[in-house]
Amino acid sequence: GAVLALAVNGKGPFEKPLPLRALTIIGSYDQLALGVHERTGITSMEDLRDKKYPLKISVRGQADHTIHLVIEEVFKAYGFSVEELRSWGGDVVYQDGLPSPHRVQSVADGECDALFDEAANQWVNKGMDAGMKILPISEDVIQKLEADGFRRGTLQKKLYPGLPADVETIDYSGFILYTHDDTPDDMVQAFCAAIEARKDVIPRDQGDGPLPLDRMCQDTPEGPLYIPLHKAAEAYWKERGYI
């Protein structure tokens, strides 16, 4: 969702604002997590930047995944880039799959020094068990990212007991279905009607049962509405009583 906000705001890699609008959003509560192995001695992103530490970071092998853009934007907010990291002797190591056990193990074994990814519930606890510390994003950097369209998030100690305290980061929740703002109203409403008609069988990323349409057309923790609804989608969801 945050990437769409960057696009609508003309920030990040987008040279000008793009007129995009949401149809609905599939909830998926998640946060960005920056895990660095304790053997590196790196305790903050400022530490990484200032020491020019040659950190080798496991990242998602899927070339078109949003994580690559998001990591670059976080680095930029700290004043450096992936290319500069490489100039220090560091690297981003593309590894296939979600942050699965083999990627955590590659950090534990020393093939990589860190793992930066979303899908935090799949790897953060395992990563800490393998010796990783989860680095916070500093308040001033979060504010820079928020100005472009990101939202702040929190990795909560109650969900990740190995954390010494809550860790501030950026949100990575939700999957927005989106279109151009000039998409014809009848097409948009037909799309919304199709989702409603099949709400009992369309799978959810998190949770069971039919799609909770009343939470899929407004801003929620699991589904942040980073960009405005298309006017025809908003009208449809209101008419059907979901807004």
User: Please, which residues have CB within 8 angstroms of residue 131's CB and are 6 or more apart in sequence?
Assistant: 37, 38, 39, 107, 108
pLDDT exceeds cutoff 90 at 201: yes
Please give the angle made by the CA atoms of 2, 101 and 83, to the nearest 5 degrees.
Answer: 50
Say if CB 217 and CB 234 are below 8 A apart.
Answer: yes
Residue 160 scores a pLDDT above 90: yes
User: What number is the average pLDDT over the span 35-62?
Assistant: 96
- What would the pLDDT profile of 69-88 be if each residue is shown by its tens digit? 999 999 999 999 999 999 99
**3-class DSSP state of 25:** strand
Q: Give the per-residue pLDDT at 209.
A: 86
pLDDT at residue 206 above 80?
no
Residue 43 has pLDDT above 90, yes or no: yes
3-state secondary structure of 194: helix
Alpha-carbon gap, residue 122 to 195, rounded angstroms: 28
The pTM score is 0.93
Q: Average pLDDT, stretch 165-187?
A: 97
Q: What's the rounded mean pLDDT across residues 4-16?
A: 96
Q: Please check the confidence at residue 197 and state whether its pLDDT lies above 90.
A: yes
**What's the confidence (pLDDT) of residue 97?**
79
Which pLDDT does position 207 carry in this prediction?
80
Higher pLDDT, 207 or 236: 236
pLDDT of residue 99: 76
Residue the block writes with tokens 């100690």: 157
Task: State the Cα–Cα distance between residues 83 and 182, nearest whole angstrom.
Answer: 38
Span 183-207, average pLDDT = 93
